[in-house]
Amino acid sequence: MGDTSQWNSQLSFLFAMIGAAVGLGNIWRFSYVVYSNGGGTFFIPYLIAIAILGIPFLILEYGIGYSFKDSFSNVMKRINPKLEFVSWILLLFVFIVLIYYMVILSWDLTYLTSSVTFSWGSDVAAYFVQNVGGSSNLSNLGSLIIPTAIGALIIWVIVWFISHRDLNEGIGKISKILIPALFIIMIGIVIYALTLPGASIGIQTLLQPDWSKLTDINIWLAAFSQILFSLSMGQAIALTYASYLPEGSKINDNVLLVVFANSSFEVFTAFGIFSILGFMSFSTGTPMVQLVSEGTGLIFVVFPMIFNIMGIMGHILAPLLFLAILFAGITSAVAIFEPMVSSMEDKLNWSRKKTVTLLSIIGCAFSLLFTTGISSYLVGVVDGFVNEFGILFLIAIQCIIFAWIYNVDSLIPVINENSRFKVGSLWKAIIKYVLPCFLIAMWLIGVYYLFADVDSFEAIVYVIIMVLVLVFSGILTKINSNK
């Protein structure tokens, strides 16, 4: 890699990695996962998941990227030429995530503009269906939701503008601006939320422990899944970003900082989310159980309802919340984009600008397919398959490749060299034995639930995705690099 493909400071790397980790899931998923999995009890498996999954696997990814200082596809090819095909499968799955992730950010952009005048009106559920996410009615497949389509184009232009620039002028600089801004906005929102009447109702609901849940396998799966996807593990993001690190970097220490920042953010944000839900419950007499939802339902339906009854503060909090989601989403989007950019750049020996421009055009064209009248339904279908079937399986495969085919023992001196926090035989045992078994078990359970009640439309979507991914992985593998 050239000189431009190196972070100019540890701070740039840390902010970029925190930006990759802190995304939509921290804001709209974590609090729901805590609430629905034993409340305060959930933090026991959550902390254990951090200790035996989050930290060990990220150290592995950082170490591999830092040691090889190469793109993900080249790393896999150097370990074994036959593995390049596997690398492109993962990269294409991650690129698909980016394609529909941009559409979700487009929904947020629509709500950000709507929050100025509260144009979502009193029937916020109808507003989401008609103007943003559509419905599951397949007869609407032929129609286009104009605000969502325009928003997707705008978000792609923003991500292209950031990503096509030099590493430090693009990703590095924007991360150092957006991440502090995101944290400041969320701190302000949470502090105010804690002062709302009824906030204690929400917090009590969030943290109410259910100790019987500790013996339920589902709470453990929820904790490990949250850590897995919250930290963007195994998606070649951490490996790619770490490949840009200069010599002398503190690998293990950086992992601890990123994990701490990510977990602190999502726990802190959960207090704000549930304080606001508690206010809604207190003000309207609506039971908390009817308000708590996950993802789009929480952010794009429940919260606009709450802002509607908040008065002047609603007009202040609404734009701030949707702006925070946008900032979190953009830093995550450029991170999701980077593994494909890095690998394609190396594979085709193209300039960064040319690679990013071509991939942005392709990605934007596919994103528009998700802006039809079944936008939110299609995003949900593709998201479930890509994550539960594709990426989760490939994370398990990566763990086996890095732990068994690549000599993980040679990695320990490298990652320990400049770090205050050292790893050794216990870390190696977790990587080689514990994580592969656990990840494969998670994948099998995920696949079971994914295919348990699949309908014909979903099956067709699954087949199309697999065929496209396998065909293009084969094509990219066969292309001879000019390097």
| pLDDT at 3 (0 to 100) | 40
DSSP character at residue 371:
G
In a domain, 5, yes or no: no
In a domain, 4, yes or no: no
Which regions of the chain are under pLDDT 70? 1-4, 294, 481-483
Q: How many CB atoms lie within 10 A of CB 263?
A: 21
| pLDDT at 1 (0 to 100) | 43
CATH code of the domain in which 307 resides: 1.20.1740.10
| pLDDT at 2 (0 to 100) | 40
Per-residue model confidence as pLDDT tens digits over 310-360: 999 999 999 999 999 999 999 999 999 999 999 999 999 999 999 999 999
| pLDDT at 29 (0 to 100) | 86
In a domain, 440, yes or no: yes
In a domain, 62, yes or no: yes
In a domain, 2, yes or no: no
In a domain, 151, yes or no: yes
Average pLDDT, the chain: 93
Cα dihedral: 327, 271, 257, 213 (round 10): -120
Question: What is the pTM (predicted TM-score) of this model?
Answer: 0.94
| pLDDT at 481 (0 to 100) | 60
421 conformational bin, left if phi > 0, alpha if psi -120 to 50, beta if neither: beta
Write out the H or E segment, with its range, that includes residue 21: helix 10-21
Number of domains in the chain: 1
Gap between the Cα atoms of 12 and 438, Å rounded: 33
Gap between the Cα atoms of 286 and 302, Å rounded: 12
Q: Round the CA-based radius of gyration of the chain to a whole number and report it.
A: 22
Residue 217 belongs to domain spanning = 10-478
| pLDDT at 295 (0 to 100) | 75
Per-residue model confidence as pLDDT tens digits over 87-120: 999 999 999 999 999 999 999 999 999 999 999 9
In a domain, 380, yes or no: yes
In a domain, 3, yes or no: no
| pLDDT at 292 (0 to 100) | 83
Return the residue matching tokens 């919340």.
321
Number of H helices, E strands in the chain: 25, 0
What residues contact 337, with CB distance under 8 A and at least 6 apart? 95, 98, 159, 163, 356, 359, 363
